[in-house]
Structures are given as structure tokens and as C-alpha cells.
Amino acid sequence: MRILGAILAGGRSSRFGSDKAEAMLEGRRLIDWAHDCMAGHVDHIVVCGRPGGIADRPHPDLGPLGGINAALHHARDRGFEAVLTVPCDVPILPSGTMRRLADAPSQAFLRSLPVVARWDASFADQLDRHLEGEERSVARWARRIGSLPISADDDIDNVNTPADLERLSTRRAGLRR
């Protein structure tokens, strides 16, 4: 099975105050951390919602579902059967969790952070129809299409604010001592 990795990076970063994807953790951009989390689990990686990447579909400002939709269509049109999604503001994901998602027999998502998920590319047109309405919850859409919720192997850090990034940085520094 061919799996496309998609880093979702189309948000406005309003709570962060600047571009989260470019924020630094231990000398590396958050988007690079997200890329590395996926690298051993997918066949190819794209970035959704940023210049030089794949544009959110059908248009920006749809939240994560716009990036997921863009990735599903990109994958389906290029012969990938599935998409593994990770947002750029989740820099560290346990490898075991990523492996379980990639190896899932059908769509699955993290119970604690539903945007970290494996989606069947065949759901591209169904997500198009869903986005014609007002519902933007990733978890509700995942459940609607029968996705399996799974638990992460460890706590997941979602960096929404500079304080979140500082806490993560401080905790990681403490672990290295």
C-alpha cells in the first residue's frame, strides 16, 4: 500500500502570534520535526496550506479539513491508497503510534488529537461533499466515515502558543540532563 504523508500547515497561527511552522525547537523548525515524525512511515511527504505546497481544498480557512481534503485528492490522483496526516504544530509523535496509524487496515485517528490520522484516499469526494456544509470538526467527520480511534503511546504536545513551545522546550531540556 502506498501512503502519502501530509503535513497540515495552513492555519493562521493566531494564538501563536507568528508562523508556527517556522517556530524553532532545539534549532529546528516545527515543520521539520513533523516531517521527521512521518519520514519512516510513508512513501512521500507533502505540505498542505503553505506557499510551495498543496493549496487547501476547496479554499483556505476551512481548518484542518481543508488540508486533509487537499491531501486526499492529491493522493488519490497520484495512485496513493492512503494519507497519513500530521499538523505542523505537533513536532513530536511516538514512532510506535505513527506505525500503528500507518499499518491500520482502514482509517484511524488519535483519540486525543484527531488530526493525526490515517485516511483512505477513496474518501476524497465524500469530504468534498461534507465541506459544502458548516461542520468543521475533524473528529466528527472521522467518526462519520467509520474511522477507528486509537490511543497514543505517550502524551502528545500540541504547540498552539509561545508558552506551549516554551513548556515543551523546557521539558525536553530536562529529559536530556
Q: Tell me which residue has cell 512511515.
A: 41
d(CA 121, CA 52): 22
Percent of the chain predicted with pLDDT > 90: 85
- The predicted-structure confidence for 113-148, as pLDDT tens digits, reads as follows 999 999 999 999 999 999 999 999 999 999 999 999
Q: Can you name the residues that pair with 85 across neighbouring β-strands?
A: 6, 117
- 156 vs 2, 24, 40, CA distance in Å? 26, 18, 19
pTM as predicted: 0.94
Domains and CATH numbers, the chain: 3-176 (3.90.550.10)
- The predicted-structure confidence for 88-121, as pLDDT tens digits, reads as follows 999 999 999 999 999 999 999 999 999 999 999 9
